[in-house]
Chain A
C-alpha cells in the first residue's frame, strides 16, 4: 500500500542554517509527491510538488527532488528564516492506482527557527 515516513521532530535551527527534512515513501505505482506547510492556527498550504522521477519542486527557497531509486523526497532550504517556523508535511497521491484522489500524509515535522 501507500505510506509516507517523515523524520521525527521537533527540529530547532538557528536563522540562516541549512534545513533538511527527510521523507521516504512506499507506493505501488508512480505517485506524485508533495510538501505542505502549516503555520499555527491555519490549514495546510501547498509548498511544492513533483510528479515524476528526478523532478525537482521548488518554492520560496525550498527544494525537493523526487528520487525513485531511494523512494525519497527530502525537503531542503539553504538558509532558514524565523518566518519558516511551521509544521511541514510530506504527502503522496496516486490517482491512477487508487480509487479516487486520496492523499497519504506523513506525521509532520515541526520546525522552529531561532534568531
Chain B
C-alpha cells in the first residue's frame, strides 16, 4: 500500500508570495492533518480535514488555509509569505473515525524556504 505523498519536496519562495502544498493520503484514509515543524517551535498543529471539512484548527494566522477534496487529497496554502514561515510542513493521514488507536501516518514533508 502506498504511503503518504507530499509534493513538492522542496520549495523556495520570496517574502510576499503565496504557496500551495499538496498531500495525498494513504488509500482509504479520510483524515488529513497538517503540521509545521521548525527548530525553535517544534511540531505545531495547523489543521485537520475529514471528509472535505475542517475538523480541528491550530493557532495559526488566517494566512494559513487548507482544503480537502472528495478523494481525500488535501492542499494547504500560505499567502503573503514571511521569513518565519520557513519550515518543514508535514502531512499525516489516518482513517479518521472514532477508533481506538487510529494512527497517523506521515509523509516525508515539504521543505519551504522563504527568502
Give the interface of A toward B (CB within 8 A): 32, 34, 36, 42-46, 49, 51-52, 89, 93, 95-96, 98-103, 105, 107-108
Query: Can you list 23 A-B pairs, Cβ within 8 angstroms, ordered by A?
Result: A43-B4, A43-B90, A43-B107, A44-B92, A45-B106, A46-B105, A49-B101, A89-B43, A93-B104, A95-B99, A95-B100, A95-B102, A98-B56, A100-B31, A100-B48, A100-B55, A100-B56, A101-B50, A102-B33, A103-B45, A105-B42, A105-B43, A107-B42
Contact check, A44 vs B50: say whether CB atoms are below 8 A apart: no
Instruction: Give the size category of B's interface with A.
Output: 20 to 34
Cα of A44 to Cα of B104 in the assembled complex, Å: 9
User: Within the complex, which residue of B90, B94, B107 is in contact with A101, where a contact is CB–CB below 8 Å?
Assistant: B94
Give the interface of B toward A (CB within 8 A): 4, 31, 33, 42-43, 45, 48, 50, 55-56, 90, 92, 94, 96-109
Dominant secondary structure at the A interface: loop
Cα of A99 to Cα of B54 in the assembled complex, Å: 10
B22 to chain A, nearest CB (A): 15
Nearest-neighbor residue (CB-CB) of B6 within chain A: A43
